[in-house]
A and B are shown apart, each in its own frame.
Chain A
Amino acid sequence: MKKFINNVDHILVESLSGFAKAHSDLVELHLEPNFLTRADKATNKVAIISGGGSGHEPLHAGYIGYGMLDAACPGHVFTSPTPDQMLMAAEAVHADKGVLFIVKNYAGDVMNFEMAAEMLPFENATVLTSDDCAVVNSTYTTGRRGVAGTVIVEKCIGSLAETGAALQACKALGDKVNNRTASIGVALTSCTVPAAGRPTFDISESEIEMGVGIHGEPGRRRETMRPADEIIGDCVEAIITDFKSRNLHPNHKHEALLLVNGFGATPLMELYLIYNTAAKLFNLHNIEISHSLVGNYTTALDMAGASITLCLLDDEITKHWDSPVHTAALRWGK
């Protein structure tokens, strides 16, 4: 393992401290329990709080600020935060219009946020993101994981919340965006959890993991490395198949947002190559890519690989995606 580390037990706090210093105009860091809030507390709006294991930066702290989150709760690397973090964060940012938690659908995150929600002394609701179409949904499984599509959900809910909309309206928009979003990820390498000190899985030069999550857990299948267009073609097909299975049939020139997300160790050069092919292929399926986002937005530490996320837009989602946002990782229109 070759990483910038002083002491594995201090990585998280040192990194959070650096983030807070670098963006002191936007965020404030609170320690023990760990959470981050906006530097200037917002008023007269639903408080939007997210959180999850660390190692996915800029998710979630990078999305704190005007038009997105009010607070974020970082857990240990790849480990859900604990309820006391959510309770303290909610206490710090709530503004009498309720609290909305945005939670990626992983067993640990769901349970910790659920316990926080049960203990919270004021009105709250939760949006579970589950955009990963690599995991087959059924009544019997934990269900689809929440991955990079979470960024789109956070952006749209955050935008609506700024207008002073009610808690249930914010939740409804979040659920809608989640239901119209699908993602699939491919890993070229594993990642190394600092405290573990070695790659989570072994993978040879000629292999890829298809349908991988964002924690270096193995994906759906181990496949042979192929030219990029073939891999991207399979990803696009998986997303189209998923939309059809959910009765979402894109009509003629249906507008969509295409997010090509890097997992941490894949250069932008390759991410744009992926974007180029994916946009072309979605076009063949009557989908017009009207909005784009390309970069490292939901990472898995130092994993090489990328995920493709498609969100089928409608007027409401488009409006909230385009609206001004001012955070460390997303900023436009303000």
Chain B
Amino acid sequence: MKTEFIIEAALAIQQTILANESTLESLDREIGDGDHYINMKRGATTVAEMQTDLASLKPDEALNKIGMKLLSTIGGASGPLLASFFMSMAKVLKENGDESNLKIAAAFAGGVQAIIQRGKAGISEKTMLDVLIPVSNQFVLLATQNCNVKLICATLIHTAEQGMLSTKNLIATKGRAAGLGERAIGHIDPGAKSCQLMIEAVCKLILEK
């Protein structure tokens, strides 16, 4: 993995968040408090503006810097969760290196593990983890089987989509929608949606290369 790619991915993520304003806003109005898009936009824009600061850093240093920046920019639950993801991913990369798909998958899994710990949440709680846990598992599995990167990306886009859709019929037991009880059923979780969009954007970037 190259820092150049991290910067390209950050720009792609910003683009997809901005392009999905109305989707994210309406999902959060239905079962949240209407601030998810605003927070994601603030985070994505801040990272996109870090280009020149990041360019000279090693990939793990760049990811760590992104995490630190998100921690002081986003706020809410998304802030500490996404920050923990990038900071932990950076830590695993620093320790293990980044020269294979498997090593990158392991770093991704480390990031997801940090979200699980920080959020004290798991699968089927109607959160971003319903996207991230399946994607992380699939990523590690495919990388272990030595699949090529394009196949991995195409599969992960699908896995993320399935995970995002799976939140629709769940009762929320974590996050802001947890106060709604059964009323949350029938609504896709906004955090799961934004994670799916970000994963899709990064995977598409690789597929188009």
**Chain A residues with a Cβ under 8 A of chain B:** 33, 53, 75-84, 106-108, 111-112, 114-115, 132, 134-136, 138, 140-142, 145, 193, 195-196, 200-201, 211, 213, 215-221
Contacts and interface: CB of A to CB of B under 8 A. Distances in A.
B150 interface: no
Interface string B69-113: 001111111111100000000000000000000000000000000
A77 B71 contact: no
A193 B71 contact: no
Nearest to A81: B75
A79 B34 CA distance: 10
Most B Cβ at <10 Å: residue of A75, A77, A78, A108:
A108
Contacts of B29: 196, 200-201
Contact of A193 (B33, B79, B176, B179): B33
A220 B179 contact: yes
Interface in B153-187: 173-181, 183
Given A79-B76, A82-B74, A142 B178 contact: yes
A159 B73 CA distance: 33
Interface in B109-141: 118-119, 125
Contact of A136 (B25, B42, B119, B181): B181
Contacts of B71: 82-84, 115
Interface in B19-49: 25, 29, 31-35, 38-39, 42
Given A196-B25, A200-B34, A218 B74 contact: no
Contact of A115 (B31, B80, B174): B80
Contacts of B179: 132, 134-135, 145, 211, 213, 217-220
Contacts of B119: 107, 111
A108 B174 CA distance: 11
Nearest to A143: B178
A80 B76 contact: yes
25 contacts: A53-B75, A53-B76, A76-B75, A77-B35, A82-B72, A84-B71, A84-B72, A106-B176, A107-B174, A108-B80, A112-B79, A115-B118, A134-B179, A140-B125, A140-B173, A142-B173, A142-B174, A142-B178, A193-B33, A200-B34, A217-B31, A217-B176, A217-B177, A218-B179, A220-B180
Contacts, number: 120
A84 B73 CA distance: 10
B75 A135 contact: no
A130 B75 CA distance: 20
B41 to A, nearest CB: 9
A108 B177 CA distance: 12
A142 B176 CA distance: 8
Contacts of A138: 173
B45 to A, nearest CB: 12
Given A111-B118, A196-B35, A218-B180, 10 more contacts: A79-B39, A83-B72, A83-B80, A140-B125, A142-B175, A145-B179, A196-B29, A215-B33, A220-B179, A220-B183
A142 B178 CA distance: 7
